[in-house]
Amino acid sequence: MKILILTDEFATGGGAGQVAFLQAMEMAKGNEVTVLTAHGPENSPAGLRVIKKNLDYHPMFRTVLGIYHPRAIKVLEKFLQNNCFDVCYMHNINVNWSYRSLKILKDAGVKTILTIHDVTAVTPYVKLCNYNNYKYSWLRELRDAKWFYNPFRRPLVRKYISLAFEVRAVSRALADFLTTNGIRVDKVERNRLPQSQSAPSALYEDTIFFGGRLSTSKGALLAVEYLAKIREKYKLNPTLLVAGKPGIVTKKMTELAEKSGVSRQIKFLGWLSQTDYNTRLSTAGMVIVPSICFDSLPTMILEAMRAGRPVIATNLGGSRELVEEGITGFIADPKDIESFSGKIAAVLQDKNSARNLGRKAYGKFINEFAY
């Protein structure tokens, strides 16, 4: 079978790019796979044909070009004139390739399966989300978008998505959000990861692992606040391991840590290779995912489960579908500093409990989320 994978990111960036990469590697076994991407590695992985196109533009135009990006559409039309495919798997096309690409592929006779990884099919401006209220009104979008509000965006997105053969969401929470706001979803298919080559480590250090794309919406500053609260209330001094690209957010974390008196308890690891990342994660005492945005299905939680690490995660988005309360970890309101830090302290204070949580998290990963 001739398969095309169309994605804004491939093997780079957030969860969607990583999922697209893993999907491509799996499908390459017995199929002819081509990847068309806007961002990806310089060299093509073995067995894959990866074509990278520069389709970037200023983010201020995303409410228009995310629907119909003329330069991207021209590239895609020309590409399809010279290449034939049976099916196209699409991941987060809302920035570079644009939703118009669904129509181009359908007109070319290619069956399209669109996987939606986040809330951008409704709006690119969602930061906070009330867990019990998924309705995102046009008035709220107007307040968020301000001068860049496009009243035609959502109707056009719905129109283009309706052309897909199948539409998938990566979590039930995301599916609920999308359907509540008029976006079609046919199936929930949660992301998976390849199984680790080695068994989880039995070592649980006095460390808290926090990684991925570092941003305030992912709870970066809250992580520092938890550290300070744990030291003040529980007299514990764990080390916060921060894995991610240094920048404005890490600078803010450093400033807050100095102000809070916990600067010696934070270790910035920078952007790690996958091997180094897995090594650091493998002996951590726990992993925290304190996102204050709608995190559809955090890859960080899957990585923690694969490493046999307990997780304390946000109550927003799809974390509840991965973390079983009191069995593989804990769910808490990330903005409730007392509650979230209290659950971190409970795991730090009881290594046997941490091991039990980690062992069950690993078992859940093997049974439900491993390739």
Residue 165 DSSP symbol: S
> What pLDDT does 126 receive?
61
Q: Which candidate, 225, 218, 295, 284, places its Cα nearest to that of 249?
A: 218
pTM: 0.91
> Edge-to-edge strands of the sheet including 266-270?
266-270, 239-243, 207-211, 286-289, 311-314, 329-332
316-327 in b/e form (b: 16+ CB < 10 A) is: bbbbbbbbbeee
> What pLDDT does 137 receive?
84
Residue 193 DSSP symbol: B
> What pLDDT does 13 receive?
58
> What pLDDT does 127 receive?
58
Domains of the chain in start order, with CATH, are: 2-188 (3.40.50.2000), 207-368 (3.40.50.2000)
Ranges under pLDDT 50 in the chain: none
> Edge-to-edge strands of the sheet including 111-116?
49-52, 32-39, 2-9, 87-91, 111-116, 166-169, 187-188
> What pLDDT does 83 receive?
94
